[in-house]
Amino acid sequence: MPTFRAPRGTRDLLPDEAARFNRFARVARDLAERYGYRPIETPLFEQAAVFERGLGEVTDVVEKELFRIAPRTEDSEAWALRPEPTAGIVRAYVQHGMHTWPQPVRLSMMGPMFRYDRPQAGRYRQFWQFDVEAIGDPGPAIDAEIVELGLRFYAEVGVRGAEVLVNSIGDPVCRPAYLGVLTSYYRRRAIDLPPTDRDRLERNVLRLLDSKDPAMAAINAAAPRITDHLCDACAAHLAGLRAHLDALGVPYRMAPGLVRGLDYYTRTAFEFYVAGREGQQQAIGGGGRYDGLVELLGGRPTPGIGFGVGLDRVALVLDEQANVAGARADAVDSGDLGTLDVVVVSADPDDTVGRLRVATEIRAAGLHARADLGRRKLGRQLEAASRDGAHFAVILGDELATGHVQIRDLEAGTQRAVATSDLARELARAVKAHRHG
Ligand code: HAM
């Protein structure tokens, strides 16, 4: 048992997994660029009030899961690690006067989030999200753009069968009346409610629809639906979103019970699942419209919409799908493996300078190369190179005196001498031929 371990609910991303996350980042960055969402980074922690006010006091994320940072002195601010990126991004939008920029401001980020949740598969205390936000457009066309972008991300990282569930959760015009109807419905069943939900009934009744307690499933299934209580403007917005999704050929399912776990949402709410995996209650992403959030955080009234993709869950799904297909996860995800083209080895175990110098030259020519810097026999160096997955070894031997080295094809087992002056060019040609054929 090691003395120190990664904290409960966190995990180390070892090289194979970290390489996969790098690939997620490449796909995310490329998609964001293609769709015109510019990168933004915000601090990993904020004033706790940004989250308390932004996400809502009576939400799991704020009530139970916020990682609060103990104040250093009595009068210092209350800070918290970010449980999600939207509130921080909106805080930045207000702080930097982004309302003067051309609207909407399209932004994207990828990074770690922190929630003090009960850890289980797919639920971590530190997890990664790919997030996009479009602030300053009331929709509904941009709502469809965002939903389609989310589905495109799953397709491009290789998730099969991602689908989106869509709902509208109304706005300050129609929601109060609906909440009244919902409250009377639950009050009539108060004795059947689990204690947490009974407690929330009077404080934030919408959360009950999102309850994870199995005892709530039947009660929630029969609860009044918000889509039957939308005002004309919200109903028109939902119809507009559906028309745009239909026009784009984006398949979606209406989910009248979907309410999301954060309070800032208005109108459009959606979640991404993998077909057949819904039972695990694990969305691989989710988002929606937050037309009141900018104002709530001190800006002028400005509409916004976005989503967050849970990358740890995407990784789990890719593993599951690879297992079902009988393939190894890393074979399916082979784009994730770092390609090592060349290892430089030497017949003289003491000549580390020569190996390092040649490897440096090869890398300067743009190839992926590692010098074997161990003081061990040539045979051992070659074995290690093969184990590392290198395609070629460059062997420094006696011919170095006449300006020659050997290039060995580790898979074919063949080798030939080349002049050191031609080495980079020869290797580049060999590596290219190997990759393409
Ligand atoms: P969220 O639904 O709370 O929304 O989180 C988005 C996704 O992050 C979830 O669907 C899930 O895949 C992943 N996730 C959440 N909690 C965990 C956890 N403890 N462990 C692993 N993965 C997790 C938001 O965060 C909103 N900011 C999305 C948004 C952006 N809405 C508008 N703009």
| Mean pLDDT, rounded, of the chain | 92
Is residue 270 within 8 A of residue 260, CB to CB? The reply is: no
pLDDT value of position 331: 40
Q: How confident is the model at residue 279 (pLDDT cuts 50, 70, 90)?
A: low
The DSSP annotation for 400-416 comes to: GGGTEEEEEETTTTEEE
Indicate whether 297 pLDDT > 80: yes
Residue 108 φ/ψ, nearest 5 degrees? -145, 155
- CA of 62 from ligand 1 middle (Å) equals 14
Is residue 301 within 8 A of residue 294, CB to CB? The reply is: yes
pLDDT digits (tens, 9 = 90+) for 258-272: 998 899 999 999 999
pLDDT digits (tens, 9 = 90+) for 145-154: 999 999 999 9
Specify the DSSP class assigned to residue 136: S
Q: What CATH architecture is 339-435?
A: 3-Layer(aba) Sandwich (3.40)
pLDDT (average), residues 289-309:
97
Indicate whether 419 pLDDT > 80: yes
Is residue 415 within 8 A of residue 408, CB to CB? The reply is: yes
Q: Which residue has its alpha carbon closest to ligand 1 atom 11?
A: 310
For the chain, state the CA radius of gyration.
Answer: 27
84 CB-near residues (< 8 Å, 6+ apart): 55, 61, 113, 129, 131, 262, 308
- CA of 397 from ligand 1 middle (Å) equals 56
Amino acid at 318: L
Alpha helices in 70-112 (DSSP H): 86-95
Number of residues that make up the chain: 437
- CA of 184 from ligand 1 middle (Å) equals 30
Indicate whether 330 pLDDT > 80: no
Specify the DSSP class assigned to residue 172: T
Tokens of 217: 């499933």
Is residue 382 within 8 A of residue 396, CB to CB? The reply is: no
- CA of 72 from ligand 1 middle (Å) equals 30
pLDDT digits (tens, 9 = 90+) for 19-60: 999 999 999 999 999 999 999 999 999 999 999 999 998 888
Residue 162 φ/ψ, nearest 5 degrees? -70, 135
Q: How confident is the model at residue 335 (pLDDT cuts 50, 70, 90)?
A: very low
Q: How confident is the model at residue 77 (pLDDT cuts 50, 70, 90)?
A: confident
15-174+230-324 placed in CATH 3.30.930.10: yes
Residue 57 φ/ψ, nearest 5 degrees? -65, -40
278 CB burial (10 A radius; 0-12, 13-18, 19+)? middle
pLDDT value of position 200: 87
pLDDT value of position 131: 98
- CA of 29 from ligand 1 middle (Å) equals 19
Which among 148, 145, 185, 182 is positioned nearest to 164, based on CA atoms? 148
- CA of 260 from ligand 1 middle (Å) equals 10
Q: Is the CB–ligand 1 distance for residue 117 below 6 Å?
A: yes
Q: Which residue has its alpha carbon closest to ligand 1 atom 18?
A: 123
pLDDT (average), residues 76-80:
89
pLDDT value of position 257: 87
pLDDT value of position 194: 93
Specify the DSSP class assigned to residue 140: S
Higher pLDDT, residue 278 or 68? 68
Tell me whether strands 414-419 and 369-371 are parallel, antiparallel or unpaired: unpaired
Q: Which atom of ligand 1 is nearest to the CA of 290?
A: 32
Q: How confident is the model at residue 326 (pLDDT cuts 50, 70, 90)?
A: low
Q: Is the CB–ligand 1 distance for residue 67 below 6 Å?
A: no
Question: Domain spans of the chain?
Answer: 15-174+230-324, 339-435
- CA of 284 from ligand 1 middle (Å) equals 8
Which among 33, 42, 30 is positioned nearest to 98, based on CA atoms? 42
Which of 105, 291, 313, 317 to mutate to test ligand 1, by most ligand atoms within 8 A of the CB atom?
Answer: 313
pLDDT digits (tens, 9 = 90+) for 185-233: 999 999 999 998 998 898 889 889 988 788 898 999 999 999 999 999 9
CA–CA dist 147, 288 (Å, integer): 9
Q: Which atom of ligand 1 is nearest to the CA of 125?
A: 19
CA–CA dist 60, 64 (Å, integer): 5
Calculate what percentage of the chain has a pLDDT beyond 90: 79
Q: Which atom of ligand 1 is nearest to the CA of 133?
A: 33
pLDDT digits (tens, 9 = 90+) for 94-139: 999 999 999 999 999 999 999 998 999 899 999 999 999 999 999 9
Query: Which contacts qualify for 73-77: CB closer than 8 Å, 24 or more apart?
Result: 77/47
Q: Which atom of ligand 1 is nearest to the CA of 283?
A: 10
Q: Is the CB–ligand 1 distance for residue 88 below 6 Å?
A: no
Q: Which residue has its alpha carbon closest to ligand 1 atom 25?
A: 84
Which of 142, 262, 316 to mutate to test ligand 1, by most ligand atoms within 8 A of the CB atom?
Answer: 262
pLDDT value of position 334: 47
CA–CA dist 133, 124 (Å, integer): 23
CA 66 to chain centre: 19
Q: Is the CB–ligand 1 distance for residue 310 below 6 Å?
A: yes
pLDDT value of position 339: 72
Q: Is the CB–ligand 1 distance for residue 284 below 6 Å?
A: yes
Q: Which residue has the tokens 């969305």?
A: 283
